[in-house]
Amino acid sequence: MTHRPDLIDPGRLAAEAPPAHHTFGPDVLAGIRERAELGRYPIRGWGARRAVPDFDDLLLLTASASRYPLEGYRERCDTRTVFGARRAARPVVLDIPITIAGMSFGSLSANAKEALGRAASMVGTSTTTGDGGMTPEERSASRTLVYQCLPSRYGFNPTDLRAADAVEIVLGQGAKPGGGGMLLGQKVGARVAGMRTLPEGVDQRSASRHPDWTGPDDLKIKIEEIREVTDWQIPVYVKVGATRVDHDVRLAVAAGADVVVVDGMQGGTGATQDAFIEHTGIPTLAAVRLAGDALADLGLTTDVGLIVSGGIRTGADVAKALALGADAVSLGVAPLVALGCNAPTYRRRPVPPPDSAPTGASDSAYVEVDVSAEYAALGTAPGHCVHCHTGRCPVGVTTQDDTLAARLDPVLGATRVANYLRALAMETTMLARACGKSDVHRLEPEDLVALTVEAAAMARVPLAGTDWIPGR
């Protein structure tokens, strides 16, 4: 598909002008025109863009007279997070409770995958493969690499499985629970096609259901099979898109998962139908409490880990997610932004004159190249782009085009993502210390209040200034 800048893009309109709240707002009109023009559903990247109750609707009750805060620099506040110690010989040990989510090589460029792997290793956390398999760059750059097992099975093989530090069985994603992966033809380049044993340049819609099992009873057998292949060495995660969270978490535990990953409706995607992104699943805020309570009810909070994702941006989001029961969070879109997504420029190292001696230029020596015009060519602008599905990413993050991909320097990119992750960890410990916690995992729902009745009902914490929890 060639991109048609003359078509009105719903994502762009939604971003530029907040949708008017009437039945036929400008975004709705744009969507109708796109469907009429193309005879198919609108497709885009990123997650839900409409306002849903989220972590911004919660506040932390930090210490004052009845409780005491811990000092920032002297008094410890642990962030170490361990997954799978009960069953796996090699549990996953993370220095911070902030991980990088599964994003496929195909949706992301090889440089982006490598940069994320390097960044995760720099801060002692994990990164995750995605639909389409494991690249050698990603494996060698990542200290801890989680290998996804998706319905498509693209790029899934026993060799890479044994090279992984954990395996994540994906039942669904928050952006499209019940739907399968999607990679449009313009991103199915030779290397991607080879890894997926597909023809080049053809739109690819992945399966939405695993081919060899359905239901939790079979999942139990699948997990045993994976444990045997990996000789009980590595933890097994199960990822679900947040819909019937209470049931799904209990079933994942019953099937033998070491970690349940719950991805809320705001969760990002490389390319998905807009109807899925905006109209399926439940907000991350509601999902984390349901999942945390389900695990607590099973008495397994310390045994089975909970990773939550979908719209996590700041250390405050992390602290609140942990308080509601998560052991760690997982990030998709945010590290892409740290890599340069939606920035007006990309950064590259200066090319030295041909006859000059090597300068040993540091990572901070780079030049900025403006690419605003390329955003405009996509029908968008820096700050409003959700066009990952086009493969024409102006900053080289979500593309398979060699020229575009070369705009992302994996070393420079890794430094920025590592800085971002470190800053999130610092914010999280700062808030945990202010709540008197010597470990970020000791944040609890009682440390939170809600700003809105909706958030109070979903997170099951009192409305600020009251002791009222809706429904209690």
Partner 1 sequence: MCGIAGLHLKDHTYRERLGAMVAGMLRGVARRGPDSAGVAIHDDVPDVPDVPDVPGVPGVPGVPGVPGQAVPGVPAAPGAGLTVFREVGDPEEFAARIGLAGRAGVRALAHTRMATESAVTAAHCHPFVAGEERLCLVHNGSFANHATIRRRLAGLGIITETDNDSEVAAHWLAARRAAGDDLTTALRRLTTTFDGFFTLAVTTADSFAVVRDPIACKPAIIAETDHWVAVVSEYQALLGLPGLADAVVFEPEPEEVYLWAS
The angle that helices 110-123 and 410-434 make with each other, rounded to 10 degrees, is 40
Q: What is the distance between the alpha carbons of residues 70 and 127, in angstroms, rounded to a whole number?
A: 31
Please identify which residue in 7, 28, 60, 63 interacts with partner 1, judged by CB under 8 A: 63
Residue 393: name its binding partner from partner 1, ligand SF4, ligand FMN, none (Cβ under 5 to 8 Å by kind).
ligand SF4
DSSP 157-193: -HHHHHH-SEEEEES--TTSTT---EE-GGG--HHHH
Asked if residues 120 and 331 have their Cβ atoms less than 8 Å apart, the reply is no
- Kindly list the distances between the CA atom of residue 392 and the CA atoms of 367, 374, 389, in Å, as whole numbers in the listed order: 21, 9, 8
Asked if residues 367 and 390 have their Cβ atoms less than 8 Å apart, the reply is no
The H or E element containing residue 200 is none
With binding defined as CB under 6 A, does residue 116 bind ligand SF4?
A: no
Nearer to partner 1, 75 or 402 (CB): 75
Please identify which residue in 84, 97, 130, 189 interacts with ligand FMN, judged by CB under 6 A: 130
Q: How far is CA 339 from the centre of its chain?
A: 14
CA atoms within 13 A on the CB side of 385: 31
Nearer to ligand FMN, 324 or 434 (CB): 324
With binding defined as CB under 8 A, does residue 37 bind partner 1?
A: no
Asked if residues 437 and 70 have their Cβ atoms less than 8 Å apart, the reply is yes
Q: What is the distance between the alpha carbons of residues 22 and 280, in angstroms, rounded to a whole number?
A: 21
Site for ligand FMN in 235-294 (CB under 6 A): 239, 263, 266-270
With binding defined as CB under 8 A, does residue 370 bind partner 1?
A: no
Q: What is the 3-state secondary structure (H, E, C) of 385-406?
A: CCCHHHCCCCCCCCCCCHHHHC
Q: What is the distance between the alpha carbons of residues 406 and 395, in angstroms, rounded to a whole number?
A: 9
Q: How far is CA 242 from the centre of its chain?
A: 13
Site for ligand SF4 in 360-399 (CB under 6 A): 385-388, 393-395, 397-398
Please identify which residue in 45, 179, 241, 283 interacts with ligand SF4, judged by CB under 6 A: 45
Site mask for partner 1 (CB under 8 A), range 440-469, x = bound: --x-xxx-----------------------
Nearer to partner 1, 140 or 438 (CB): 438
Residue 371: name its binding partner from ligand SF4, partner 1, ligand FMN, none (Cβ under 5 to 8 Å by kind).
none
Residue 47: name its binding partner from ligand FMN, ligand SF4, partner 1, none (Cβ under 5 to 8 Å by kind).
ligand FMN
With binding defined as CB under 6 A, does residue 131 bind ligand FMN?
A: yes
Q: How far is the CB of 172 from ligand FMN (least distance, A)?
A: 8
Site mask for ligand SF4 (CB under 6 A), range 150-189, x = bound: ----------------------------------------
Determine the residue with CB nearest ligand FMN: 332
The H or E element containing residue 367 is strand 367-370
Residue 341: name its binding partner from partner 1, ligand SF4, ligand FMN, none (Cβ under 5 to 8 Å by kind).
ligand SF4
Q: What is the distance between the alpha carbons of residues 336 and 95, in angstroms, rounded to a whole number?
A: 21
With binding defined as CB under 6 A, does residue 395 bind ligand FMN?
A: no
The H or E element containing residue 450 is strand 448-450
Considering only CA atoms, which of 370, 375, 371, 373 is closest in space to residue 390? 375
Asked if residues 169 and 219 have their Cβ atoms less than 8 Å apart, the reply is yes
With binding defined as CB under 6 A, does residue 144 bind ligand SF4?
A: no
With binding defined as CB under 8 A, does residue 436 bind partner 1?
A: yes
Q: How far is the CB of 400 from ligand SF4 (least distance, A)?
A: 12
- 448 by DSSP, 3-state: which? strand
With binding defined as CB under 8 A, does residue 161 bind partner 1?
A: no
Binding site for partner 1 (CB under 8 A): 63, 65-68, 70, 75, 296, 299, 301, 435-439, 442, 444-446
Binding site for ligand FMN (CB under 6 A): 47, 101-104, 107-108, 130-131, 148, 170, 173-174, 181, 239, 263, 266-270, 309-312, 331-334, 388, 398
Binding site for ligand SF4 (CB under 6 A): 45, 336, 341-342, 385-388, 393-395, 397-398
